[in-house]
Structure 1
Amino acid sequence: MKIIHLSEIDSSMIDLVGGKAAGLGEMIKAGERVPDGFCLTVESFKSRNLPESELIAAYERLGGGRVAVRSSATAEDLPDASFAGQQDTYLNVEGADPLIDAVRRCWDSLHTERAVAYRATVGIDDAAMAVVVQRMIDPVVAGVLFTANPITGCRTEMIVDAAPGLGTAIVDGTVVPDHYVLGNQAPALPDGDGCLGKEQLEELRHAGRRLQEHFGSPQDIEWAIDAAGTLWLLQSRPITTLFPAPPDTGDTRLYLEFGHLQGMLRPATPMGVSLLKTGSGMWLKAVGATVDPHDPLPRLIPIGGRLYFDLTDFVRNKSMRKRLGTSLEVYGPRVQGAVERMLDDPRFAPQRGLPFRLGSAVKITVRLAPGAIVGIVRSLVRPDTARAAAYRAVDEMRRRTTPPAEPATPAERLRWVIEDSHKAVMSPDMMGLVWPLTVGMIAGLVPSGLLEGVAADDELDIVLGGMPYNVTTEMDLALWSIAVNAREHRDLFLNTPPEELATKYRAGDLPDIGMAGFLDRYGMRAAAEIDVGMPRWEEDPAPLFATIANYLRVDHPEQAPDRRFEQAAQKAEKMIDTLSRRARRRRPLRGRLATFLMRRSRKLTGLREIAKFAWLPALQAARRQLLLTGDDLASRGLLERAGDIMFLDLFEARAAVHDGADHRDLIAARRAEYERELRRPAVPGALLSDGTDVEALAPQGPVEEGVLTGMAGAAGRATGRARVIRDPAGAHIEPGEILVAPTTDPGWTPLFMTTAGLVTETGSPVAHGPTVAREYGIPAVICVRNATHEIKTGQLITIDGTAGTVRVEEEIDDAISG
């Protein structure tokens, strides 16, 4: 079938007619008014055999005259890829020869540079081109209707942009359209002398509601109104940029993104979320809290695969709302400001009642208080002994994490994951580990308050540099030592792709540089490592070989990471002496206390990473058992492959193991959604239940040309070429370049050891990235909105980690040529 009338098309025919034609056919079947037309299917495109006589005959049956010739690619108007403007449309085409020429040009537009690049960006390998031919409408006004606000994400607002004449001027951006915001219930009122009246806006609103209901998602609709006042619908496709909406609770809720505090913006797998909640539930039960076994953390909500905390009840609490601003400083100024603005929103007016069970809070306090007092005092008095005990606790938790003996059944493996995998690590105080950790964090933060007016922020940051006893720093330095061992095989490790090196390593075909010992200690780590669904380095060491190649490019002794770390430690000790003398002269009592805490900080603050490090062996062991269970389910035909089990939760996996439930369709849908979310460039830090990105509501402040503003992460200044990296796996960075990333967690930190500085889009001063940056003595600027898009690899930038700014420098050559 080479030519088919639009009225005969539906969404099931997308592979034959492309996305645009499929959408038009669906609109016609839904009873909407669509210009008459037909589709030349992909069959002709695939053979590059244009049936000219059939095409002309269909054109004549349409009545001849002026038509619109529009591309309709099979990868167009999809839920995760709109392809807006990527292929060509030709208007006012009249006559047989111009029609044939327009069709061929539509075909050619599939392979333009912009279309090929777009497909690569959204992960589409190939596509075919159908072509839609429709009668031209002569509009007096035309435009675009969004059934949700594409800027803020709000699902209770529709946006209409309209202009006289053809709507292409709006799409092309060549005119400033009249702009209308239609509230969910408010009447549609025209703004001043715009080109649309109240009745026309209401007609558009009703059309938008019908199409959104028909297609099942918010729509981007092109429309036109002719001289007779008739509304014609020209296209409807999903709004692909919207962040997924929170679950509908029937109430306005405020959600706070949780992952970026851990340096994780990629989506979590369903199994990752499920095990996180189950493990946390074990801890809550251990301290005496009442826990729902089906959802131990009901306030932690996965939205778009990211973890959000439901902050609503805290915002509405009369006493707690007053302290929210201070407590949210760790989220950075944008998220903090967004939440503070919600305090004035009548939907979050204060209400009576606590946001938690008072009885549970009392039980937890009584259970933890005695040990906390003893542990904190011991850590202050004998920090070396407390630190040594913390390391012993890590080893003991690892020893007690014992999987079921082999041979084990899938049911036994899954029972162990659910009931036993986290028992050791989720003891009330993690075998006493949390108290020296807590003292270390306090000792690192309190001196800034005690020395206010005495010490500058950048001086206090120096005190935190070269911090010993950080397990992540120790890991990075251990990897540097392996790179030193690899120098005698430099060409092999520098010029062989990391994936090939990983294959050779597993086959035993690489020189021994110490990788086996490293993986024995750190093989449970990875980027986004709190998600059990993520492969560990022990499974895929390719990222480590990529980092080793980066380290081998270091050719200046002073750039060596161990030397930089040593220098940062020396500067820290010297700064403590300087601040101690200064403070004791000006504030004797505070000065002595601040000096004591700074000294304790050097002994304990490095432990801030140790709690998660202690948890990782349990996640590693659970992952191994889950994959073995998945392998059994795959052999029974219930999964396509073992790793698919990570796209189920623990209850669904149990149903598959015990009842033979087949979840393959569910897994395929979740995997597709997961892969779409992996490509999402930005994640809202604060989200309303109607989908509104709260940060997008903030007024734009003054912007200095060439300067991006964020938040201080680690003191210092650096100028260098930017290296934009969105995934650390296989990443290449030259010594002295400045790393620009969406966020960072410990899986990223090996890259820090050769970089001159760090810029991230999200983060917190206490998150992994800026903490490790301070310890290496490199400047860091965090919370720079859209940094990975505003900054390009190779640009010369200057970052100021104290002021929290990034300046894109004007190149000398550019200045001369300009």
Structure 2
Amino acid sequence: MRFVYSFDFKEPPKLTEVGGKGMSLILMTQQGLPVPPGFVLSVDFFKPWFDYIKCTPEWQKVINSSSRELKIHTDALKKLCIHLKLYPDRRKAFEVALNVFEGNSKNLLFAVRSSSPEEDLEGASFAGGYETTLGVKRETIEDALRHSFASSLDERVFLYKKEHGFPLENPRIAVVVQLQIPSETAGVAFSLNPINNCYDEVVINGNFGQGETVVSGLASPDTFILDKVSEKIIEKRLGRKETSIWLAPNGGTYEKPSPSRKGICLKDKDLLSLLKMISNVENYYQKPVDIEWAFAEGKLYLLQARPITAYIPLPEEMQTAPGQQKLLYLDATLAKQGIHDPLSFMGTDYLSIFQSKIEGAMTGKNISGVMDGIQGFFQGRMYLNISNNIKLYGKKKLIDTYSLLDMTSAEIIANIDEDEYIPKVLPPKLRGVLRGTILNSFGMGFNVLKALKAPAKYEKVFLERAEQYIEELKNERKKDLTIKEFAERTTEKFVSFFVIALPILAAIAAAKSGIVKIFKDSSPEIKSKVTFLEKALPNNVTTQMGLSMYRLSLFEEVNQSSSFEVFKKGLEAKSFSKAFINAWESFMEKYGFRCPKELDIATPRYYEQVEIFYNQLKTMAQNTNAKHNPQVIFDEARQQRENDFIELLKEAEKKGKAKKFKKYYEMLITFSGYREAPKYYWIMTVAELRKKVMEAAEMLTASGRIDHRDQIFDLTIDDLNMGMTNPSVDLRALASQNTIFLKKLANIKEFPRVIDSRGKILPPPKKEAREGKLVGEPISPGTVRGKVKVLRSPDEKPILPGDILVARATDPGWTPLFINAGGIILEVGGMLQHGALVAREYGKPCVSGIEDAISILKDGQMVEIDGLNGTIKLL
């Protein structure tokens, strides 16, 4: 049991003995960096104090306290620390460590800082949780130790631990005692830019005096941004430096106005010295870091170093080397699919198989790949390579595509620096793609012509092929296939079906484009009616699912069940009415394989999470107001569309284009509802494979080869196939290795739309702010007022009739929430994104592209949505 570790201790101690801060100072000293001398009082040093604290009534009150009462009890606990005394063996070790500094000066001052084993770790910073005392004289140093010790019992620390899943019952602390540097300037530095996430930019904050004003936010510091590759100073920004802290000769500190508020606190040579130091620290840790630094008498000191916990990590396989041509990626998982959280490892692997098959059918080549291809599913996300797409297809095509999916993404793409991000030549994999696409598109082009010439006839062909695909899927399920064989065969069959479905999407685009051209010179009133032609269209499988759910919610069996347990018993015993049982079974057969985040094979389906589905029905059942009845709203929207068609037909007759307009309208009505069909059948395929995977998971869990069923989704299809045929394969080890990077994403709340291969996040262009109004993209026309309900996940809270649903993005699993919503506000999404399609189908006003909507808008806030003009009025 060791009580003291000096910074120059030869063998690094365990992190559990000295904490993150102490460990870092020891390691940095060993690397020869200019760390002021000092030592760490170990976790064992403070064990007797914790043993005493945990035997007190005050401790029990803290452990059993609610969050509301926690501060009262922690304050009482901290008061006990005032009277703590050092045990003789600890005091002796402490005195020996202090005596090392005796010869330096009689007026030595120390900085005393906490160093928790849980603090300054990657993924957990405990920022602001523990206390530091500056300018400590030897005679008052025990008070400073007690102060740091007591901070481990602070309310902030307990709340942070609760939020991040740390145990509360075993608090630990070590304390750093370090020679105090009488700095003239000090502050912090980051080895990446914390604002834009760029890995090649160092950001330095500084002020005169001690760095405490910068760390604690007491003053607005000077800010400097440097490029690590070129070592150039990108930006110098003068801070207000309202105050500064200085060491008092007799101990402690004092505060005074900064000596030169209008003067910059660091010279260029100082900045370059800091750049070199933080680069050395980052190279040692092999991860982004931040440091605390100080200049005293012209010498630079390193006071602290720790991993940066809040940044967006990029897989190494997606990074280009510093100084090389950068690539630009769009997160299509978010912008295209409306999925916030990372997909499972198996989910991305399976989607990669699907993607390569689709691309092979379209181009005759494998063009998948995040860096050298068009796009790829990788480490829980789907990334589109913007750089390669622009080089291959041109910037305009990409902007036009994403204008329909997510306007904000399109705006970012429109504003990129092509010299910085577009390669001079295409990667070898993509050469010849356009020629291959043309050669492979002859058959599909023929089908497009069929769809354009005879929409009703082609619709019949499509529906017959869809029924055939369902039958093929059932037949494959009956065969004795391995999971890999089933995945590959069903994917190939889906691709052949998709080739039949794709011309429908082309026909829709042609119809919309044709109608827009007919009325391009018409009045704004006529043009607005064109927008309404996409409301309440038939044959949309997602809309039909929502309306089916609403009809289910009206049954007495749902309304009269007092709890899910009561409902479940009735369902299992089939004691409910035959009409309800038939409706329930019919719904589950047709839609039960759907769910939020349904693209991921790891996500349980509705038929697996019946309680969540039941709760959604109960919420819908509260929708008793006729004006919020979704069927009534749908029928009214359909009637409005038909009325607008008559008005537009008159206008088209005046232009001599009535026949052409009727033809386009027929195509729109016939085909538009089927836009969601390909995804519906693909999700059906995902669900069938999930059943086979879950059967394997039951077996592997029972045999002890995996820890729990869901761990199977930490494997690839090949991993699982190998493990099923070879019992010696260590599936746990494969799962652990596969998910190393995914675990780094666990605390990321919002993924950026666009990021480059050096980690830099590209923001959207700033929109003109208007007082009391938010401006976004018009998605679904109509005006509605209501109370805001902000959701980060579809099961977070119920949407009551008339609520304004505010979300970052939505996928089909959010559809039930649209039933009750009076209107929808989205951060992410365009005219063809899922939320937009469903909002229009239900006739609900919708606006997207409201950056930070889920932060700006608050539950209960009254707003007015104008879906035609894309505005949100704050009432």
Q: TM-score range by the shorter chain?
A: 0.7 to 0.9
TM-score with structure 2 length normalisation? 0.82
1:21-73 Cα deviation digits (max 9, x unpaired)? 34334333434343413245274575354763146556544539654443444
Q: Distance in 1 between matches of 2:427 and 2:371?
A: 21
The aligned counterpart of 1:816 is none
Q: Distance in 2 between matches of 1:304 and 1:423?
A: 24
Contact 2:784–2:865 (8 Å) recurs in 1: yes
The aligned counterpart of 1:305 is 380
The aligned counterpart of 1:800 is 866
Q: Distance in 1 between matches of 2:474 and 2:372?
A: 26
Counterpart pick for 2:804 among 738, 743, 754: 738
Q: Distance in 2 between matches of 1:182 and 1:423?
A: 51
Q: Distance in 1 between matches of 2:571 and 2:303?
A: 58
Shift of 1:748: 0.6
* Aligned 1:56-135 pairs, distance under 5 A: 60-63=95-98, 66-94=109-137, 95=140, 98-99=143-144, 101-109=146-154, 111-112=155-156, 115=157, 118-119=160-161, 121-122=163-164, 124=166, 126=168, 128-135=171-178
Mean Cα deviation higher: 153-162 or 445-454: 445-454
* Aligned 1:18-57 pairs, distance under 5 A: 18-35=19-36, 36-41=38-43, 43=47, 47-49=51-53, 52-54=85-87
Q: Distance in 2 between matches of 1:508 and 1:30?
A: 70
Q: Distance in 2 between matches of 1:425 and 1:380?
A: 23
The aligned counterpart of 1:157 is 201
Alignment CA distance shift 1:160-1:297 (3 Å): closer
Q: Distance in 1 between matches of 2:594 and 2:633?
A: 24
Contact 1:443–1:605 (8 Å) recurs in 2: no
The alignment's C-alpha RMSD in Å is 3.4
1:754-779 Cα deviation digits (max 9, x unpaired)? 00111112122111101110111111
1:108-136 Cα deviation digits (max 9, x unpaired)? 32x33xx5554555555647341423233
Contact 2:391–2:422 (8 Å) recurs in 1: yes
The aligned counterpart of 1:386 is 458
Work out whether 1:688 is the aligned partner of 2:763.
no
Q: Distance in 2 between matches of 1:18 and 1:98?
A: 21
Alignment CA distance shift 1:79-1:522 (3 Å): same
Unaligned runs of 5+ in 1: 810-818
Alignment CA distance shift 1:253-1:293 (3 Å): closer
Counterpart pick for 2:561 among 465, 485, 492: 492
Shift of 1:367: 4.2
Contact 1:413–1:629 (8 Å) recurs in 2: no
The aligned counterpart of 2:252 is none
Letter in 1 for 2:442: A
Alignment CA distance shift 1:578-1:121 (3 Å): farther
Contact 1:72–1:129 (8 Å) recurs in 2: no
Shift of 1:10: 8.9
Residue 336 of structure 2 aligns to a residue whose secondary structure is: helix
Letter in 1 for 2:200: T
Counterpart pick for 1:715 among 781, 788, 808: 781
Q: Distance in 1 between matches of 2:634 and 2:749?
A: 33
Contact 2:4–2:93 (8 Å) recurs in 1: no
Contact 2:558–2:617 (8 Å) recurs in 1: no
* Aligned 1:4-15 pairs, distance under 5 A: 4-5=4-5, 7=7, 13-15=14-16
Letter in 2 for 1:38: V
Alignment CA distance shift 1:158-1:294 (3 Å): closer
1:129-155 Cα deviation digits (max 9, x unpaired)? 414232333321111111111111111
Contact 1:243–1:683 (8 Å) recurs in 2: no
Contact 1:18–1:74 (8 Å) recurs in 2: yes
Q: Distance in 2 between matches of 1:108 and 1:509?
A: 55
The aligned counterpart of 1:747 is 813
1:292-340 Cα deviation digits (max 9, x unpaired)? 89999943244652111113233335x7245444344235443223223
The aligned counterpart of 1:814 is none
Shift of 1:462: 2.0
1:533-552 Cα deviation digits (max 9, x unpaired)? 22222222333222112202
Letter in 1 for 2:723: A
Letter in 2 for 1:786: D
Contact 1:158–1:205 (8 Å) recurs in 2: yes
Shift of 1:720: 1.6
Shift of 1:217: 0.8
Work out whether 1:194 is the aligned partner of 2:264.
yes
Q: Distance in 2 between matches of 1:540 and 1:423?
A: 29
Contact 2:536–2:842 (8 Å) recurs in 1: yes
Shift of 1:671: 4.6
Q: Distance in 2 between matches of 1:291 and 1:624?
A: 29
* Aligned 1:224-373 pairs, distance under 5 A: 224-227=294-297, 229-245=299-315, 247-250=318-321, 251-259=325-333, 260-286=335-361, 289-291=364-366, 298-302=373-377, 305-316=380-391, 320-321=394-395, 323-348=397-422, 351=425, 356-358=430-432, 361-373=434-446
Alignment CA distance shift 1:312-1:531 (3 Å): same
Mean Cα deviation higher: 576-585 or 278-287: 278-287
How many residues are paired up?
A: 790
Letter in 2 for 1:728: P
Work out whether 1:651 is the aligned partner of 2:718.
yes
Q: Distance in 2 between matches of 1:668 and 1:9?
A: 33
Shift of 1:694: 1.8
Q: Distance in 2 between matches of 1:47 and 1:509?
A: 58
* Aligned 1:173-184 pairs, distance under 5 A: 173-184=217-228
The aligned counterpart of 2:520 is 452
Contact 1:78–1:237 (8 Å) recurs in 2: yes
Alignment CA distance shift 1:784-1:88 (3 Å): farther
Contact 1:542–1:729 (8 Å) recurs in 2: no
Q: Distance in 2 between matches of 1:268 and 1:692?
A: 22
Letter in 2 for 1:761: E
Contact 1:150–1:239 (8 Å) recurs in 2: no
Q: Distance in 2 between matches of 1:336 and 1:708?
A: 19
TM-score with structure 1 length normalisation? 0.88
Letter in 1 for 2:416: M
Work out whether 1:588 is the aligned partner of 2:656.
yes
